[in-house]
């Protein structure tokens, strides 16, 4: 991960596998230009076996911070010398920062990014009935911030009941259980499974969405995702996808690293162009 960039420029980057299509370099370059910050932000494709060694070398060589994406988020949480409370809660790290004393801080800005994007879209979840589909790492990252907004109900439904209950306590259930509910549709449905990567959606009753439903997919695709297409086809009043969350979690990482939060308007426009 060494490169020839002058030591005086602060170095950042995104680590993933694969990472070639990551939009983070473009987003952070826009933030840096807009705020007059002198930094470079590169992509690093690291296989799992190389992650810990190469990330250590990046920071030892003076690197300031890294975003971490699939499949390294849990490894990054183990690598960090210290975790923020929200990273500990999520059990995963999407942002690493070198502290002044050389130790590495692990943070997770995904939940804050989702909340900022929902706010930007005018979706206030306070007192709303909210359903999350999926109980993996993505759900763990957003559950705390969602709960903090005090929805009327927050239900986690998953293929495997155990994982849903583990995360959500008594409001966890399996997909089939949703079909028996009398109080459908939900106000907000958040899709957080990894099925979109295979072009699929969870096997769940279409009654969860209706004209009053805001359906949000944590994943993203152009111009839609399998889940946003499914939700639209089944009558969801409004859909949105996680490209907006990507921009907002980047702004939260930038804030951690540089001490200021960039205006995200131009980046939102650029990522959907």
Task: Please give the residue ranges that form the binding site for ligand ATR (CB under 6 A).
Answer: 134-138, 158-160, 163, 193-195, 202
Least distance from C-beta 168 to ligand ATR, angstroms? 12
| C-alpha angle 221-224-225 in degrees, rounded to nearest 5 | 65
Least distance in Å: CB of 214 to ligand ATR? 21
In 3D space, the residue among 31, 104, 99, 70 whose CA is nearest the CA of residue 251 turns out to be 31
CA–CA distances in Å: residue 99 to residues 63, 64, 79, 256: 11, 8, 14, 11
* Distances from the Cα of 19 to the Cα of 69, 72, 132, 243, angstroms: 8, 11, 27, 16
Q: What is the DSSP letter of 96?
A: E
Beta partners for residue 95, in sequence order: 67, 107
In the complex, minimum distance from the CB of residue 159 to ligand ATR, in angstroms, rounded to a whole number: 3
Q: For ligand ATR, which is the closer residue by CB, 69 or 264?
A: 69
- Closer Cβ to ligand ATR, 97 or 167, answer by number: 167
Express the helix, strand and coil content of the chain in percent, nearest 5 each: 40, 20, 40
Is 113 within 8 Å of 252 (Cβ atoms)? Answer: yes
Which residue of the chain is nearest ligand ATR when measured via CB? 136
Q: Rounded to whole angstroms, how far apart are CA atoms 242 and 45?
A: 22
Nearer to ligand ATR, 99 or 197 (CB): 197
Question: Tokens standing for 230?
Answer: 């499914």
Q: Distance between CA 133 and CA 146 in Å, rounded? A: 14
Please, what is the minimum distance in Å from the beta carbon of residue 114 to ligand ATR? 13
Distance (Å, whole) CA 153 – CA 206: 19
User: For the stretch 9-21, what's the b/e string if a residue is b when 16 or more beta carbons lie within 10 angstroms of its beta carbon?
Assistant: ebbbbbbbbebee
> How far apart are CB 126 and ligand ATR at their closest, in Å?
25
Answer yes or no: 73 catalytic: yes
Using the minimum distance from each CB to ligand ATR, give the nearer residue, 41 or 227. 227
Nearer to ligand ATR, 37 or 194 (CB): 194
Compare residues 134 and 242 and give the one whose CB is closer to ligand ATR: 134
**Residue tagged active-site, from 73, 182, 207, 222:** 73
Nearest-approach distance from CB 242 to ligand ATR, in angstroms: 12
Which residues lie closer than 8 Å to 219 by C-beta, 6 or more apart?
A: 191, 196, 197, 225, 227, 241, 242
Catalytic machinery residues: 73
């Amino acid at each position: 991960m060494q490169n020839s960039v002058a030591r005086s420029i602060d170095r950042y980057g995104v680590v993933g596998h694969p990472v070639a299509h990551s939009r983070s370099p473009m987003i952070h370059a826009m933030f840096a230009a807009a705020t007059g910050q002198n930094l470079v932000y590169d992509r690093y494709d690291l296989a799992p076996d190389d992650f810990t060694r190469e990330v250590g070398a990046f920071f030892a060589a003076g690197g300031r911070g890294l975003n971490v994406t699939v499949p390294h988020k849990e490894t990054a949480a183990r690598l960090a010398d210290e975790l923020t409370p929200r990273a500990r809660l999520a059990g995963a790290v999407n942002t690493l920062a070198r502290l002044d004393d050389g130790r590495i801080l692990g943070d997770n800005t995904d939940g804050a990014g989702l909340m900022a994007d929902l706010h930007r879209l005018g979706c206030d979840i306070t007192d709303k009935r909210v359903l999350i589909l999926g109980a993996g790492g993505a759900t763990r990252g957003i559950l705390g911030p969602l709960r903090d907004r005090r929805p009327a109900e927050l239900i986690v439904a998953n293929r495997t009941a155990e994982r849903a209950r583990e995360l959500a306590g008594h409001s966890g259930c399996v997909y089939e259980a949703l079909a028996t509910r009398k109080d459908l549709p939900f106000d907000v449905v958040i899709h957080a499974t990894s099925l979109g990567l295979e072009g699929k959606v969870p096997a769940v009753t279409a009654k969860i969405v209706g004209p009053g439903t805001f359906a949000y997919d944590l994943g993203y695709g152009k111009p839609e995702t399998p889940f946003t297409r499914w939700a639209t086809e089944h009558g969801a009043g409004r859909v949105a996808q996680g490209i907006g969350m990507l921009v907002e979690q980047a702004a939260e990482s930038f804030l951690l690293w540089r001490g200021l939060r960039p205006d995200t308007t131009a980046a939102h426009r650029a990522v959907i162009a």
